[in-house]
A and B are shown apart, each in its own frame.
Chain A
Amino acid sequence: MPELIVYGIILGSIIALGTIGFTLSTKIAGFCNYSHGDLMTVGAYIALLVNGTLFSNVGFLQSKIGPLSFGLGLLICFLPAILVSAGLAILIDRWVYRPLRRHGAPSIHFDMVSLGVAFIVRGVIYVIWGADYHFYFKGVRSMLFLPLGIKLRPDEIFIMAVAWALVAVTYLFLGRTRVGKALRATADNPDLARVAGIGTERMITWNWAVVGALAAVSGVLYGIETQLRPEMGWLFLLPLFAALVLGSIGSITGALVGGLVLGMTQQISTAWLKPTYKPAIAFLVMILTLIFKPEGIFGRRR
């Protein structure tokens, strides 16, 4: 059981990171982005592409760092993954969502279009990489034996460190920088923000950059923890949404707590249920939230 809790915290860190991006895009873009998970997948596969082709024969990039299972190459690959995911998110906004905004389409149309976008993105990934599972590295992964019978891979400590560092950076970015404050203002009240001289279109571009970057990192981390497959992001959407609902939409703290609770519930459930049921567990948590506290832990009842 202690082992499952630790695994839950690791998974929860990844979910929390994804949820922060998800909650930002829900608040600022004003709709529920069903292609968010697929932005994660894009990030994960771009890192695979760069690490596997450009860096594959460069010895010092591939030699493993300390006890970790991967080399400097994969660390550098976070950068192209972030750039491509963020760039793609901005381009999609230009091509698809901006025209819709001009028409003054209701938010429900954005929801629907984003589902179409999700399928296009996933289709491209399927065509390029196929449906098979991919791994960032081969061979045995080293293992740490901690007290209480906890087996932990050094990679997982790395995952947690990166996830929480990025959460802290995002928190500071939103709280302390000019752009971050403008982003939050736009999220709260776009019209008021515009009156105050904030370029809301520019803020929306910033939003997609941040969302794409966060999605890319959580995608690569998820790839390190498990494996890469085209459906990874889409299936991740359920825990993301469950964490979002649990922690109240729009709340960063809520996203963190919701993500952690979701990760732990999913892992602890494997003590009794088959691990394949994890997405269903996420769904169950969401249902229970909707029954008992539909506004979420950190929300106010309207």
Chain B
Amino acid sequence: MEIEGILSFLASFAVMASIYAIFSLGLNVHWGYTGLLNYGIAGFFAIGAYTSALITTPKPTGVLADFVDQAIGLNQPFLVGVLGAAIASGLLAVPIGLLTLRLRESYLAICTVGIAESIRLFLNNEAWLANGPEGLVGLPQPLHGLVPPQYYHYLYLGIVLVFLALIYFALERGIRSPWGRVLRAIREDEVMADADGKDVFLFKLQSLVLGAMIMGIGGALYAHYSAAIQPGLFTGLFGTFIIWAMLTVGGTGNNRGAILGAFLVWALWSWSTYIVGKVVPAGLQTRAPFIRYILLGLILVVVLLRRPRGIIGEERQVSRF
């Protein structure tokens, strides 16, 4: 009984950590390999989650339609939802990239903040699209009938791990290819890469879109795991900042580091929720979660000051010539 409880807890922990690892890999493409500042991961997260939700659910009918507003409902299978999420998220990155990638880095950063904030406002205010602040619930879970509900998260862990592995190996291949070398060259010295005849802007755009697509997949996987999404989830803290902390801790520019960081920081995050709940007096419980803002901020600042390469850090030579 005891062991079963622990296993079950570990499995649901691993599902969330693996989903975050996917975001962390996406951010690694942006920041780790190309040096693009994406401060609006939450926006791609939200787009991925909502796109997949709208693709996989049917349009509400009967009594439900009185309570749930939903403009689109395609009732397609899970994999179509994930694919749609990746495409939608990638398409969102294109105009952002076209506008900002020729300018200095801060423009991309603030534009992604703006797009994330605008998406959240839009979903909150335009209830006709996806039920406004209440969000969508009862999203379909793939292969749900296969195992008893109490064991479902083991199955979902398998699904998430397959996605994580596919993305990991694809990125490892990509980054060790000539294409990946150009990305890293751009990060190190843009002018030099330009002088070598590389179209810096185009490579940056490809990197931005690729990372965004990975984040879209992460969003879809999250949506079908929690089975309920609302705009309030996709805030700067939960949707963006924690992922920056993960990548920075694990090792910027290293895919294994990105995954390690996701597991470590998510462990710290879950554990601190528990500890803070125990330690802080009852009267201050509502404020206690915010201690974790400080904690995450401190982690990010201290790692960047003391050990900018993170735990694993980038390999000196990633590909053989």
Contacting residues of chain A (124-175) with chain B, CB-CB under 8 angstroms = 124, 126-127, 130-131
B103 in contact with A294 (CB, 8 Å): yes
B296 in contact with A127 (CB, 8 Å): no
Q: A32-B106, A115-B39 are in contact. Are A279 and B244 (CB under 8 A)?
A: no
B118 in contact with A100 (CB, 8 Å): no
CB of B268 within 8 A of chain A?
Answer: no
- Segment with Cβ contacts to A, from B141-149, B208-216, B283-291, B310-318: B283-291
Q: How far is the CB of A229 from chain B (nearest CB, A)?
A: 13
Other-chain contact of A116, B107, B118, B286, B300 (Cβ < 8 Å): B300
- Segment with Cβ contacts to B, from A47-55, A71-79, A186-194, A285-293: A285-293
Given contact pairs A105-B308, A115-B39, a sample of 16 additional A-B residue pairs in the complex whose CB atoms are under 8 Å apart: A34-B109, A96-B305, A111-B105, A112-B37, A112-B248, A113-B300, A115-B300, A116-B296, A116-B298, A118-B297, A126-B287, A127-B291, A237-B113, A274-B125, A279-B114, A283-B111
**Complex interface: chain B residues within 8 A of A274 (CB):** 125
B114 in contact with A283 (CB, 8 Å): yes
Q: Classify chain B: how many residues form its interface, as a range.
A: 35 or more
A binding-site residues for B, Cβ under 8 Å: 31-32, 34, 96, 99-100, 105, 107-109, 111-113, 115-124, 126-127, 130-131, 234-235, 237-238, 241, 245, 274, 276-277, 279-280, 282-283, 286-287, 290-291, 294
Name A274's closest neighbour in chain B (CB-CB).
B125
B294 in contact with A120 (CB, 8 Å): yes
**Complex interface: chain B residues within 8 A of A245 (CB):** 107
A279 in contact with B118 (CB, 8 Å): yes
- Report how far A127 CA is from B290 CA in the complex, Å: 6
**Complex interface: chain A residues within 8 A of B297 (CB):** 116-121, 123
* The 9 nearest A-B residue pairs measured at CB: A123-B293, A283-B114, A126-B290, A120-B297, A123-B294, A116-B300, A119-B297, A32-B106, A280-B118
- Report how far A277 CA is from B168 CA in the complex, Å: 38
Name A96's closest neighbour in chain B (CB-CB).
B301
A111 in contact with B125 (CB, 8 Å): no
- Report how far A121 CA is from B296 CA in the complex, Å: 11
A130 in contact with B304 (CB, 8 Å): no
CB of B122 within 8 A of chain A?
Answer: yes
- Report how far A280 CA is from B114 CA in the complex, Å: 7
- Report how far A235 CA is from B298 CA in the complex, Å: 21
B binding-site residues for A, Cβ under 8 Å: 35, 37, 39, 99-100, 103, 105-107, 109-111, 113-115, 117-118, 121-122, 124-125, 236-237, 241, 244, 248, 286-288, 290-298, 300-301, 304-305, 308
- Report how far A294 CA is from B305 CA in the complex, Å: 33
- Report how far A121 CA is from B294 CA in the complex, Å: 7
Name B241's closest neighbour in chain A (CB-CB).
A119
Q: How far is the CB of B67 from chain A (nearest CB, A)?
A: 22
B290 in contact with A287 (CB, 8 Å): no
B121 in contact with A280 (CB, 8 Å): yes
**Complex interface: chain B residues within 8 A of A105 (CB):** 308
Q: How far is the CB of A120 from chain B (nearest CB, A)?
A: 4
Other-chain contact of B106, A111, A121, A282 (Cβ < 8 Å): A111
Q: How far is the CB of B256 from chain A (nearest CB, A)?
A: 21
Other-chain contact of B296, A100, A119, A287 (Cβ < 8 Å): A119
**Complex interface: chain A residues within 8 A of B300 (CB):** 112-113, 115-116, 119
- Report how far A274 CA is from B122 CA in the complex, Å: 11
Q: How far is the CB of A204 from chain B (nearest CB, A)?
A: 17
- Report how far A245 CA is from B109 CA in the complex, Å: 13
B290 in contact with A286 (CB, 8 Å): no
**Complex interface: chain B residues within 8 A of A121 (CB):** 297
Q: How far is the CB of B299 from chain A (nearest CB, A)?
A: 8
A122 in contact with B99 (CB, 8 Å): no
13 A–B contacts from the bound complex (CB under 8 Å): A32-B110, A116-B296, A116-B297, A116-B298, A116-B300, A119-B300, A279-B114, A283-B118, A287-B99, A287-B111, A287-B114, A290-B99, A290-B103
Q: A111-B37, A123-B294 are in contact. Are A276 and B121 (CB under 8 A)?
A: yes
Other-chain contact of B301, A117, A122, A279, A283 (Cβ < 8 Å): A117
Q: How far is the CB of B252 from chain A (nearest CB, A)?
A: 10
Other-chain contact of A238, B99, B114, B292 (Cβ < 8 Å): B114
**Complex interface: chain B residues within 8 A of A277 (CB):** 121, 125
**Complex interface: chain B residues within 8 A of A286 (CB):** 110-111, 114
- Report how far A208 CA is from B117 CA in the complex, Å: 28
Q: A115-B241, A119-B237, A238-B113 are in contact. Are A130 and B287 (CB under 8 A)?
A: yes
Name B100's closest neighbour in chain A (CB-CB).
A290
**Complex interface: chain A residues within 8 A of B288 (CB):** 127
- Report how far A276 CA is from B115 CA in the complex, Å: 15
Q: A119-B297, A130-B287 are in contact. Are A108 and B122 (CB under 8 A)?
A: no
A283 in contact with B115 (CB, 8 Å): yes
- Report how far A238 CA is from B291 CA in the complex, Å: 25
Name B288's closest neighbour in chain A (CB-CB).
A127
A291 in contact with B99 (CB, 8 Å): yes
Q: How far is the CB of B240 from chain A (nearest CB, A)?
A: 9
Q: How far is the CB of A112 from chain B (nearest CB, A)?
A: 7
- Report how far A96 CA is from B300 CA in the complex, Å: 11
B37 in contact with A108 (CB, 8 Å): yes
**Complex interface: chain A residues within 8 A of B301 (CB):** 96, 113, 116-117, 120
